[in-house]
Chains A and B, each alone.
Chain A
């Protein structure tokens, strides 16, 4: 099983500032990496797939980068609606999906 490790567990950032979230895979997943946002009481929402492609309707302030085992989600200027929990997920062929444990982005 490919283990996904996210850091930090909690990130405190002020509105308008930049947030950088990290995700590491225990072995290479190439670019088969997605990011999801989940708000309390809601289902997850796909933000980024293919490590760097924004999903439909996702604002340009969200960007993803990385390949292999190291990935980053950057939110360039935090809006109030961005405070949530973020999960990375690998979907490499021949391996079951696995999610990271999540990063909670909170208001500083």
Chain B
């Protein structure tokens, strides 16, 4: 079983839609949960991070962690064409390595 599982999509939505991106993980030791956004032909950039359980909101983006279910989500409200990118969940364990999901490709259609 992989440490982090993520639905690869692709996901295509109309502008203004609410988008839900999800990851599951197997290691209960994970404490930090991050979302990276990667535009085409670019390196990933950190979008949001949360520590432990709960929600965190930043503008149109909300990150949610449910440690009891080992499930994390990223919600995008009022999605825009500029949100079109690949979104990767990432979790650093107690060592020096990150575990990344495979990424979900999102296209927002004007």
Instruction: Answer yes or no: do A and B interact.
Output: no
